[in-house]
Amino acid sequence: MGGYGSGRAGWRNKVEECRSLDVNRLHREGCLAPGYSGGWNWMRDGESIANISMHSNGLTLTLEFRVSQNGSEWKDICQPIRLDSTPCRFGGSRPWFICPGVGSGRRCGRRVAKLHAGGTYFLCRHCYQLGYASQSEQEFDRLLRRANKLRTSLGGEPGTGALIARKPKGMHWKTYDARVAEIDQLEESANKLFIAAHQHRWPDISLFL
Ligand SMILES: [Zn+2]
């Protein structure tokens, strides 16, 4: 079972968690050539998880798909993306997408190799700040490591599910209270980061017919 769309002429399959389009891959597969009409199919475990139809006139690649975010109603999207190319040092040229994103009233317009479906449209990494999730994950780990170190320094077990140990003998209450307060604060910050990083989910994308 290859997922629907996979047997269609001009369709390409891609195994990747993120719904992203790579301009070099599309170029190699002939999807940017004038007159191309077909689609792209994202696969996981042999099943289609998302797909879009695409056609190119050589200057613009037009994507057509339906999008639903967090279970909201499906919206039909037709998204033209301008193409550009720059000469290579040893001849030939390499293609680029011109990111169609608009942020704070300004067009992004960056020449990029990849566009990602991080919201309604396919936009570049800068527009979706996809680097954010991994950065915040590092910070999340750092906060919890510090909290765990404090938990074990008091003689307790690491992990937010464990009880914080009682005050060790010989330790001042002031010191103990300060450590407990710091553990609470670190774990609360980690929790806030986790929520912020994960509320941004990949939308569902389906073929627009
Ligand atoms: Zn952009």
Domain range for 75 is 11-128
- Give the pLDDT of residue 158: 86
Tell me, yes or no, whether 3 lies in a domain: no
Distance CA(148)–CA(66), nearest Å, equals 45
Q: How far from chain centre, in Å, is Cα 143?
A: 23
Query: 84 C-alpha vs ligand 1 centroid, how far in Å?
Result: 14
Tell me, yes or no, whether 208 lies in a domain: no
- Give the pLDDT of residue 100: 86
Which tokens belong to 67? 């999008």
> How many structural domains comprise the chain?
2
Query: 114 C-alpha vs ligand 1 centroid, how far in Å?
Result: 10
Tell me, yes or no, whether 170 lies in a domain: yes
Angle between helices 173-198 and 131-153 (to 10 degrees): 160
147 lies in the same domain as 61: no
Q: Mean pLDDT per 10-residue run, the chain (209 residues)?
A: 44 61 92 94 80 94 85 85 88 89 75 83 75 67 92 88 87 95 90 63 46
Tell me, yes or no, whether 207 lies in a domain: no
- Give the pLDDT of residue 7: 47
CA angle 99, 100, 102 (to 5 degrees): 115
- Give the pLDDT of residue 88: 79
Query: 20 C-alpha vs ligand 1 centroid, how far in Å?
Result: 13
Query: 89 C-alpha vs ligand 1 centroid, how far in Å?
Result: 26
Query: 175 C-alpha vs ligand 1 centroid, how far in Å?
Result: 49
Question: Rounded to a whole number, what is the distance in angstroms from the first to the last CA of the chain?
Answer: 21
- Please state whether the predicted TM-score (pTM) of the whole model is above 0.85: no
Query: 100 C-alpha vs ligand 1 centroid, how far in Å?
Result: 6
Query: 196 C-alpha vs ligand 1 centroid, how far in Å?
Result: 21
Query: 106 C-alpha vs ligand 1 centroid, how far in Å?
Result: 10
